Structures are given as structure tokens and as C-alpha cells.
A and B are shown apart, each in its own frame.
Chain A
Amino acid sequence: MTALLRRFGHFFLSLAQETGRAMLFLFAALAQAFVPPYRFRRLWQEIYFIGCKSLLIIFLTAAFTGMVLALQGYYTLRKYGSESALGSVVALSLIRELGPVLAALMVSGRAGSAITAEIGIMRITEQLDAMDTMAVNPLQYVVMPKLLAGIISVPLLTAIFNVVGILGGFLVGVLLLGVSSGSYFSGMTQSVVSLDVNGGFVKSLVFGLTIMLVACYHGYFTERGAEGVSYATTRTVVVSAILVLAWDYVLTSFFM
């Protein structure tokens, strides 16, 4: 019993220590955004990598999510004779929940893991140390642009996800299952309010920052060579997925 308690204590102390270290890392990196030279070119490169290069996966995931939602929603709503509410169901599900969460999980899987691997390799091959010895702060040159790019790109990707998902729902609901186009869109415009959109937007901002923080943090503190990079990359995907879902619950309860 004592051993079990000790283990729990040790686990929570380590968790608190790691969280504290990650927060210090985050503040130190974000503070570099206000220190010249301003890294607009690096920021643009990272937005291209995180945002533009994730477009295909976001399009595909969003289209299929919208299509499945429409399919499931239609057969459920038909039982109650409410097929006309299909547009509202698809739009609200996407804008409030699925859009931000799925877009974040996709970005985490594609860009987050790649960022951890990139920074981790820079760490084990002493590229970050080399930068430091040249009086170039790696937090400013490498980490900060990725954090900002995540905050900028993930909300934009989420907006695209929502639009494509709604169109995917339209394809299945209206063109395949025969729901009227007018009721699909009019139900949507009546039921979606600004609080839904704002809630989704805030979620995507938080998710973007969380994913990039987890990815950069694990890459930056990579140890033990290639095995360490592999471990850090896996950990990034797992930890960011858990944090995205945990944040989702917290923020949903806040916006309800």
C-alpha cells in the first residue's frame, strides 16, 4: 500500500515538474516573439509547413466526416420525421466539436510528429548547440515561429474543415438521400449562433498552441540518439491527442 502511494506520489510530482518545465519553455519561447530580429520569414515557412501542407489531409478527413455525419444523422432524424434538421445537426456537430478536435488531431499526427523529429534530430546532431554558440537563440529561431504558426494555422484549418465537412454532408444528405437543399442550409443558419463559432474558434486556438508546445517541447529535450527521437515522436502524438481531448472537455463545459 505504501509502495503504491509512493508510486502515485512520484508520478504526480514528476507530472507537476514536467508541466512546470513545459510552461517555462513556452513562456521563454513566446517572449522571443518580442525580441528583434523579428522572424517573419521563418514564421511564413512554418505556416506553409503546418498549414498549407496539411490541407489535403484536412480536406479528406473533413469530407468523410461530413458525409458520415449526414448519413448517420439522416437515419436517426428520419425516425422522428425531422430530416429537415440535418443541416443543423451536421453544422453544429462540426463547428462545436468535430471540426476543432479532428483538425487538431490530424495536424498533430502530420505536423506535430514531424516537428518533434526535426527538432529532436537538431538536438542530437548538435545543430541547436551550434546555433547557441553563434549567439542565435534556438528558441527564437526554431521554436517560436512553430508555436505562432500553430496558433495561426490550426484555426484556419479548422474553418476549412468545417466548410468542407458541411459540403460533404450536403453531398450525402441533399444529393444522395434527397433532403431539400433549402432546408439543409436554412436549418443551419437558424441554429448556428455566434457562441458556437466563437467556441470552436477558441478551441482551435488552444489546440494549436497545445500541439505545437507538446511537439516542440519533446523535440527540444530529446535525449539518447535515434531511439530518443523515436520515443519523443511517439510521445508527442499520444500526449497531444490526450491533451486535445482533455482541453475539449474543459472548454466545452466552459462554453455550454
Chain B
Amino acid sequence: MIKIIELFRSFNGHQVLNGIDLEVPAGKITVVIGKSGAGKSVLLKHIAGLLKPDQGRILIDGLDFTRARGRELQAIKKRFGVLFQGGALFDSLTVLENVAFPLREKTSLAEGEILSRARQRLAQVNLPPEVESNYPDEVSGGMKKRVALARALVQEPEIVLFDEPVTGLDPPMMNTVFHLITKTHQESGYTGMVVSHDIPAVFQIAHYVAMLHHGRIVACGTPAEIQQNPDPVVQGFLRGEIDFQET
């Protein structure tokens, strides 16, 4: 389980995370929703260990990730897989090499086994074998997301973080990616945390939903509970109301 306690972070005097408290249950998918600029990606980067908070703690099964150093930090990071918003595929490596990269770097598996596992993951996300020798800029946006998903899952992580997994995709591809997240979650049983503003589509993969507003979690519950939440901020976001203060 991931437990976030009183997390604060500011950039150049601008408070982005303003005391976040959140629990992400083990083996479930928790979706964090909120407007653009609400701090969703910043929160995710803190959980991935890419940013350090000004204050607060992130506990991974009781281990304080924010204070971990050296080998302890590396050991915690090995438990994560991250799907970045733009895929973050290494453009000098082919699709297959991208998926094989974490195994080559962090395991002592034989080359044949590495390639076999990478191909299995590519098949799991419905990518045909023909694309494996292509470079990332030779495949479509949807394929890139699927390659990135395969790479995030190749080490069989316990926790997978998804940063805006369907942003920029057309509706059929959005549903494909959501279907793949659900499918891989059912097969692997990882703890998932998804950051997204694609409402209501993202509810189809969520076990729990938390809403981030002005750097704080203002609502948390099952998708049904969130949809019935009386908070005007939550309802305004779900209905896509125009925020005249920001226009």
C-alpha cells in the first residue's frame, strides 16, 4: 500500500502540493483526477521518486520512500513501473530494445530469456511482432503508449504509475489503452495509480477515485461515491463547468 502523509511542495514560491493525504490500496487501481495544473503529475513524480517533497512522507508498505537513500532507494524503485505521459521511450533504441531495457539493466537473465519476456509483454499489449524492430518515431501514438505500457510491466512491478495514459489519443485508442490497463491489472494484480483528467472514461478502470484541487485531495471514494459527491468543486469538474476565475 502507498500512504501519502501531509505532502507539501512548492516551485518558485508557488505552492503546488498543499498537504496531500492519500492512501492507495494494494492490488487496486486508484485514479487521481483534477484540472490541468492541479498538481497531479507533480504528485505522481513524488511517488515515483523523481521529486523530493518540501515536507511530508510517502510510505511504501511502511518504508519511507522520501528518506530512503542508496541501495534502499534503488530497491524501492525496482518495485515500480511508470508509464509516462509521452511514453518516454528511448528514441535511440528499437521497440523491442526499449521493452528489454529494464531487464538488460537490472537482471542477470540470459539474452534469449530477456528477448522472450520482452516479446511476451509486447504480445500482451496486442502489438504485432512486425513493429519490434521499429524505432519509436516510426510507430503511431497509440502504439507508443502500448510499448511504454509493455516496458512498464516487463519487470512485473508491484506498483504501476500511469501519468495521463490516454492524453492525445482518439476515443477508440483511449478505450484500447484502458482495456489493456484493466487486462494487465487482472493478470498481474499490481497496485495501480493513474493520473488523468479524462472524465468519465477513466472511471471504467478505477476501483477508487481521488480528486485533487489546489494541491489538496478534496474527495476520495469509489467511482460511484465520487459521482454522487455533493461538493460543488467535484460536481463542477465532473460536469466540465467553465471556471470563470481561470478564463
Contacts and interface: CB of A to CB of B under 8 A. Distances in A.
B78 interface: yes
A249 B50 CA distance: 41
Interface in A170-184: none
With most chain B CB atoms within 10 A of its CB, the pick from A37, A122, A129, A132 is: A129
A57 interface: no
A18 interface: no
A135 interface: yes
Interface stretch (B80-88, B204-212, B219-227): B80-88
A134 B102 contact: yes
Nearest to B93: A127
A127 B91 contact: yes
A125 B86 contact: yes
B86 A135 contact: no
A133 B48 contact: yes
B78 A135 contact: yes
Interface in A204-237: none
Contacts of B80: 133
Interface in A117-169: 121-122, 125-127, 129-130, 132-136, 141
Contacts of B74: 135
Interface in B147-196: 155
A83 B139 CA distance: 64
A134 B105 contact: yes
B82 A136 contact: no
Given A133-B48, A134-B101, A126 B84 contact: yes
Contacts of A121: 91
Interface string A192-210: 0000000000000000000
A121 to B, nearest CB: 8
Question: What is the interface of chain A mostly: helix, strand, loop, or mixed?
Answer: helix
Interface residues of A, number: 14
Contact of B88 (A125, A135, A141): A125
A25 to B, nearest CB: 17
Contacts of A129: 45, 48, 50, 84, 88
Interface in A26-46: 37
Interface string B76-107: 01101110111011110000000001100110
B237 to A, nearest CB: 26
A127 B90 contact: yes
Nearest to A135: B77
Contacts of A132: 49-50, 77
A127 B88 contact: yes
Given A127-B90, A129-B50, A136 B106 contact: yes
A126 B78 contact: no
27 contacts: A37-B105, A122-B90, A125-B86, A125-B88, A126-B84, A126-B86, A126-B88, A127-B88, A127-B90, A129-B50, A130-B84, A130-B89, A130-B90, A132-B50, A133-B77, A133-B80, A133-B81, A133-B82, A134-B101, A134-B105, A135-B74, A135-B78, A135-B105, A135-B106, A136-B102, A136-B105, A136-B106
Given A125-B88, A126-B86, A127-B91, 16 more contacts: A121-B91, A125-B86, A126-B84, A126-B85, A127-B88, A127-B90, A129-B45, A129-B84, A130-B82, A133-B48, A133-B77, A133-B82, A134-B155, A135-B105, A135-B106, A136-B106
